[in-house]
Amino acid sequence: MSRPRTVIIVGGGISGLATAFAVQEQAAAKGLPIQCTVLESDSSWGGKIVTHRIGNLVTEAGPDSFLSQKHAGLDLCAKLGLTDQLINTNETGKKAFVLHGGRLHELPEGLVSFVPKQLGSFLRSGLLSWTGLARMGLDVLIPRSPSDNDESLASFFRRRFGAQAFERVLEPLMAGIYAGDAEQMSLKATFPRFFELEQQYGSIIRGMMATTKRASPGPPNGPTRSMFVSLKNGLSDLITVLKARLEQQGVKCRLGCRVEAVRVRSYQLGRWMYDLILEDGASLSTESLVLATPAYVSADLLRPLTPIAGELLEMIPYASTATIAMAYPAAQVTGAVEGFGFIVPRIAGRNLIAATWTSLKWPHRAPTGQVLIRCYVGGVGREAILQLDDVELVATVRAELSALCGIKAEPNYVKVNRWWKAMPQYTLGHLSRLTQLDATLSCYPGLVLTGAGYRGVGIPDCIRDGALAAAKIIQDLSGTHPS
Ligand SMILES: Cc1cc2nc3c(=O)[nH]c(=O)nc-3n(C[C@H](O)[C@H](O)[C@H](O)COP(=O)(O)OP(=O)(O)OC[C@H]3O[C@@H](n4cnc5c(N)ncnc54)[C@H](O)[C@@H]3O)c2cc1C
């Protein structure tokens, strides 16, 4: 048997681990012997995926669920034998609210997926004035943009639906996902579907109606999935099971292993060997290198090899956020919000981006008699709150909960999770920068970048991008001889 080919993946978040899984799977399919190693600088696996279990409470410090419509998440769970652990959101009480005019208004049904299923509920919500509604309806008449240029989310949605619909409803939905500023975010990089709908149908409303009618009903015998799904005992189970499976397959998984520098040397015409310098001074060599680290880390690692790649990577900004989980005796908060939670538009000038009633969304995450609420703060232009210490931060968040939904009770559990430089921002020109990056790195065969910083921030996006990174590596190794 020939000597195994070497692959090192830097970063043990979902992107790095999913890449390792796909490398193993695709190498096995090709009969290619591989020695794969994953290096993680932290003392635990999973990156942004962190579940805390305290007594009967299950709280997520980072992501709490993932989109089921993007299949990569469900598919990975199936391959790992986790399908029976998948849970839907609670069918009862699945309303969501948005702050407007100092009080919470119910979001029109289906709007959370940007598809207003019943326009009547939009009319009844009281969120928009009659002129605002009429302006929104003009979308069916306004001609498509003749330009193919990238456009900001704010510009696109103001142009199609008017300022009111954008500022009161669409902006907070989008900002909640990216913790970003819609004035700077690229439509094509974040919500390309809307660009396509405009181009194809000349109207978002008409396009949505046409595509909703044609939408496939999903797998015939598969279980029905809610739009967002999670794992019964928390998303970190995905990480635990994935990492255990990788080790069973012979992948070396090393924690506390920070890569400080990458060097490159030629070993064949047009082929490179990558030397990784670790924090303790040790070095590792590999034919194939996947950087599944945040873009600013990859920038530092690649700058000495290619300053242009370093510069392009550095141009991907990251926003800092925090989540604050709080548990209350149910009797003290009953009636505050009868739904999954609320979102807060930027124009409201509040610190809160959103608050989720976790124990209603996923009932078994808190024991009966407890209400678990998760607040989300920070994001582009709203990061000042993160300078507060935990006591001040919690006091600020509680004051806003009190003002917005009347919760004055003392929580019996509080956990603050700070996420510094955590959410990549796909700003205007993001996609063309990625194209330049690909061109710049094309002279380094065997070197691939993956992770939330590039082609999607959601967990299924990261898993899918990891599989694409693995495909590049395997294709590259299959076409060359061992060093
Ligand atoms: C608060 C919050 C809520 C979110 N909610 C959702 C949600 O509900 N649903 C959803 O789908 N997505 C959500 N996301 C987004 C999603 O969680 C992330 O985009 C995704 O987990 C990122 O995975 P990743 O592996 O690309 O990056 P990371 O998780 O950041 O992993 C990168 C890893 O690289 C390691 N590393 C860094 N430098 C080095 C080095 N020099 N050497 C070795 N290792 C290094 C880091 O320690 C880290 O573990 C949320 C994110 C946040 C922050």
Pair 312, 251 in one domain? yes
201, part of any domain: yes
Nearest CA-CA partner of 53 in 242, 256, 231, 227: 231
Which residue CA neighbors atom 30 of ligand 1 most closely? 47
Pair 84, 25 in one domain? no
Instruction: Determine the distance separating the centroid of ligand 1 and the alpha carbon of 65, expressed in angstroms.
Output: 14
Which residue CA neighbors atom 27 of ligand 1 most closely? 13
Pair 182, 305 in one domain? no
- Token digits of residue 162: 């008017």
Pair 404, 432 in one domain? no
97, part of any domain: no
Instruction: Determine the distance separating the centroid of ligand 1 and the alpha carbon of 451, expressed in angstroms.
Output: 8
208, part of any domain: yes
CATH of the domain at 267: 3.50.50.60
CATH of the domain at 123: 1.10.3110.10
Which residue CA neighbors atom 37 of ligand 1 most closely? 293
Pair 366, 406 in one domain? yes
CATH of the domain at 327: 3.90.660.20
Which residue CA neighbors atom 26 of ligand 1 most closely? 451
The ligand 1 atom at the shortest distance from the C-alpha of residue 450 is: 26
The three-state secondary structure class of 138 is helix
Q: Which residues line ligand 1 (CB under 6 A)?
A: 10-16, 39-42, 47-49, 62-66, 258-259, 292-294, 297, 321, 323, 419, 422-423, 451-452, 457-459, 462
**CA neighbours within 13 Å on the CB side: how many for 389?**
1
226, part of any domain: no
439, part of any domain: yes
Instruction: Determine the distance separating the centroid of ligand 1 and the alpha carbon of 221, expressed in angstroms.
Output: 33
Instruction: Determine the distance separating the centroid of ligand 1 and the alpha carbon of 311, expressed in angstroms.
Output: 21
Q: What is the model's pLDDT at position 367? A: 92
Which residue CA neighbors atom 11 of ligand 1 most closely? 458
22, part of any domain: yes
Q: What is the model's pLDDT at position 176? A: 80
Kindly state the helix (H) or strand (E) to which residue 296 belongs, with its residue range.
helix 295-302
Pair 267, 138 in one domain? no
Instruction: Determine the distance separating the centroid of ligand 1 and the alpha carbon of 317, expressed in angstroms.
Output: 14
With the most atoms of ligand 1 within 8 angstroms of its CB, the residue from 48, 260, 340, 416 to mutate is 48
379, 395, 424 - which closes a domain: 424
Instruction: Determine the distance separating the centroid of ligand 1 and the alpha carbon of 7, expressed in angstroms.
Output: 21
The ligand 1 atom at the shortest distance from the C-alpha of residue 457 is: 19
Pair 244, 278 in one domain? yes
Q: What is the phi/psi pair of residue 289, to 5°?
A: -130, 125
221, part of any domain: no
- Token digits of residue 262: 């990458």
Q: What is the model's pLDDT at position 116? A: 46
Pair 256, 336 in one domain? no
Pair 71, 208 in one domain? no
Residues 99 and 344: beta-carbon distance below 8 Å: yes
What tens-digit pLDDT sequence spans the chain (483 residues)?
678 999 999 999 999 999 999 999 999 999 999 999 999 999 999 999 999 999 999 999 999 999 999 999 999 999 999 999 999 998 887 788 999 988 899 887 665 555 445 556 666 778 888 899 899 989 999 999 988 899 999 999 999 999 999 999 889 988 788 999 999 999 999 999 999 999 999 999 899 888 876 655 455 567 889 989 999 999 999 999 999 999 999 999 999 999 999 999 987 777 889 999 999 999 999 999 999 999 999 999 999 999 999 999 999 999 999 999 999 999 998 777 888 999 999 999 999 999 999 999 998 899 999 999 999 999 999 999 999 999 999 999 999 999 999 999 999 999 999 999 999 999 999 999 999 999 999 999 999 999 999 999 999 999 999 999 999 999 999 887 665
Question: Both ends of the chain: CA-CA distance in Å?
Answer: 15
234, part of any domain: no
Q: Residue 206: give the domain boundaries.
A: 111-214
Pair 40, 56 in one domain? no
Instruction: Determine the distance separating the centroid of ligand 1 and the alpha carbon of 453, expressed in angstroms.
Output: 9
The CA distance from 229 to 231, in Å, is 7
What total of structural domains would you count in the chain?
3
424, 439, 466 - which closes a domain: 424
Pair 139, 176 in one domain? yes
**CA neighbours within 13 Å on the CB side: how many for 21?**
26
The three-state secondary structure class of 406 is coil
Instruction: Determine the distance separating the centroid of ligand 1 and the alpha carbon of 123, expressed in angstroms.
Output: 39
Residues 322 and 311: beta-carbon distance below 8 Å: no
The helix-helix angle for 71-79 and 14-30 (nearest 10°) equals 60
Pair 115, 163 in one domain? yes
